[in-house]
Amino acid sequence: DPFVEFRHVSLAYTDAQARAGEYAVEDISLAIGAGEFVAIVGPSGCGKSTFMKLTTGLKAATRGSVRVDGQPVTGPLKIAGMAFQAPNLLPWRTTLDNILLPLEIVQSYRSSFRARRAEYAERARRLLASVGLSGYEDKFPWELSGGMQQRASLCRALIHEPRMLMLDEPFGALDAFTREELWCALRDLWSAQRFNVVLVTHDLREAVFLADTVYVMSARPGRILSRREIGLPRP
C-alpha cells in the first residue's frame, strides 16, 4: 500500500489575496511508497508549498482526498518532520537545545522530557555527527555559518524520528559547495533510516541527484505533468 496517496486533489485558496475561481494545485493524483524519496520540481509559485501543506495536513483539499498511512488526513500530522529555506533557529538557544525543541514541546505535556533529556541529547549528538557538526552542540546559531544552521535545522526535523521528512527548498539559500555537501549528508541519513522524504525544489539537478522519483509541476494551476507532457518515453 502507498504511504501517501493523493486522489484527484485540488486546492483553491479562499483568503483575500486568492484569485477567485482559480486552483493553486489541480487534480493531483499520485502514490508515494513507504521509505520512498520523492522530489517535486516546478517554477516558483506553481504550488509546491501548497502540495506540502496538503500532505502534512496544514491545508485541507477543496476537492479529492489525501491519505497518509492509510488514513484520511484531517489535521497537522505529528509523524512529519519539516525543514524550510530559512533554518529558523532560536537565537537564544544553543544548537543542541534548538534540536531538542520539538521533543521538548511535545513531551512537556507529559513532563517526561526532563527524565529522558540525556537520551535525547545523545540522539541529537549522533544526528549532529552525521551532518558533520560534532563539537558545535553548545554554540549559538549566530556563531554558525548559514550552511551549518541549515544542517542543524535538518537535525531538528529528524529528532523525533519522523516517518516522513518534508523539505521545502531547504538548500536554496546555500552556496553550491555547501549545498552538495548537505545533499550527501541527507542521502546518507536517508539510506540508513529509510524515512519517507518529500522534497520540493526548483533545482532539477538537486531533484535528480537525491530522489528516487521526480514529479514535475506546471505553472498555474499546479498540475503534475505526465511523462508524455515532459517528453519522456513510457516507463
Give the binding site for ligand ADP (CB under 6 A).
13, 15, 17-18, 24, 42, 44-50, 85, 220
Q: Which is nearer to ligand ADP, 1 or 15 (CB)?
A: 15
Using the Cα atoms of residue 39, residue 44, residue 48 and residue 52 in order, give the sign of their dihedral. Answer: positive
Angle at 33 between CA 29 and CA 38, to 5 degrees: 75
To the nearest whole angstrom, how small is the minimum distance from the Cβ of residue 121 to ligand ADP? 32
Cell readout for 178 is 555547501
**b vs e for 167-201, b when ≥16 Cβ sit within 10 Å of the residue's Cβ?**
bbbbbeebeeebbebbbebbeebbeeeebbbbbbb
Give whichever of 42 and 147 is closer to ligand ADP, judged by the CB atom: 42
- The smaller minimum CB distance to ligand ADP, of residues 44 and 191, is found at 44
Closer to ligand ADP by Cβ: residue 15 or 119: 15
CB of 60 to ligand ADP, least distance (A): 13
Place of cell 521538548: 104
210, 39 contact by CB (below 8 A): yes
The least distance separating ligand ADP from the CB of residue 57, rounded to whole angstroms, comes to 15
Smallest gap from Cβ 45 to ligand ADP, in A, equals 4
Q: Closest separation between CB of residue 151 and ligand ADP, Å? A: 20
Distance between CA atoms of 212 and 88, rounded to whole angstroms?
Answer: 28
**What span, in angstroms and rounded, lies between the C-alpha atoms of 73 and 53?**
11
Residue number, 26 or 160, with CB nearest to ligand ADP: 26
Pick the closer one to ligand ADP by CB: 18 or 90.
18
Q: How far is the CB of 47 from ligand ADP (least distance, A)?
A: 4
Half-sphere exposure of 127 (CA within 13 A, CB side): 27
Q: Which residue has the cell 520539538?
A: 102
